Amino acid sequence: MDKPDIEEQNKSALSRRRFFNSVAVGAAETALLTIPGQANAQEIVEGDLVKVVLNVNGETHTVMVEPRWTLLHVLRDRLGLTGTKPGCERGECGACTVLIDGVARYSCLTLALESAGKQVTTIEGLMRGTELGSVQQAFRDEDGYQCGYCTPGQVMNVEGLLRKTPDPSIEQIREGVSGNLCRCGAYAHIFKAAQRAAELKRAGR
């Protein structure tokens, strides 16, 4: 009685694996069709490496990627930008947040190929040489962190919010950072840090 059940489970697992692989490859093909100079979508085969040109923090990087690789994976494991943190890796915690064309995005849900031709900014890109950026400085001033693991994603989300809304109300801040979770519960300090960052940006710092 057990054997048929195991076989059915194996078939189901293989079916799910094929489905997710086909979704990743299909999304990659769609992305490539919109990127001038990239490989022909018809040439993509699962496991093949495709050349992609990424603009990250103002620098151009040419990397070979699998179509299924996320931007999070490429940033950390191919470009060495480990400030972007993996968390849930399913778009729920926000630890991996980066800016794409100035808008906060979960890099765990974004294919690297989707980011070609766009401006990607990570936590490292907010630095001014060896000095902290305004949002980073505000988080430091207001103790907007405890363990610090979620902080890069929190900072990037606040940066994206302030680029869109330079003088947000506390309600706008709460809504703006609602997609980023802090297991330490430092939300009150995060809200204060966002307000402080807005002040620093308005002061030209």
Do 142 and 91 share a structural domain?
no
pLDDT for res 46: 58
Do 100 and 163 share a structural domain?
no
Helix (H, G, I), strand (E, B) or coil at 155: helix
pLDDT for res 205: 78
Paired sense of beta strands 119-121 and 103-106, if any:
unpaired
Q: Which residue segment(s) compose the domain that 157 sits in?
A: 134-202
Do 100 and 18 share a structural domain?
yes
Sign of CA dihedral 113, 60, 96, 86: positive
Number of domains in the chain: 2
Sign of CA dihedral 159, 165, 166, 168: negative
Do 82 and 162 share a structural domain?
no
Per-residue pLDDT of the chain (205 residues; tens, 9 = 90+): 454 554 554 455 445 445 445 545 555 554 554 444 454 444 555 568 999 999 999 999 999 999 999 999 999 999 999 999 999 999 999 999 999 999 999 999 999 999 999 999 999 999 999 999 999 999 999 999 999 999 999 999 999 999 999 999 999 999 999 999 999 999 999 999 999 999 999 998 7
Do 163 and 120 share a structural domain?
no
Domain boundary among 102, 126, 150: 126
- Provide the residue type at 22 as one letter: S
Do 107 and 139 share a structural domain?
no
Domain boundary among 126, 147, 171: 126
Do 67 and 163 share a structural domain?
no
Whole-model pTM over 0.95: no
Do 115 and 91 share a structural domain?
yes
Q: Domain of 27: which CATH number?
A: 3.10.20.30
pLDDT for res 204: 85
Domain boundary among 126, 150, 169: 126
Q: Domain of 159: which CATH number?
A: 1.10.150.120
Do 181 and 91 share a structural domain?
no
CA distance 189 to 170: 12
47 φ/ψ sector (left φ>0, alpha ψ -120 to 50, else beta): left
Do 73 and 160 share a structural domain?
no
Cβ contact 63:54 at 8 Å: yes
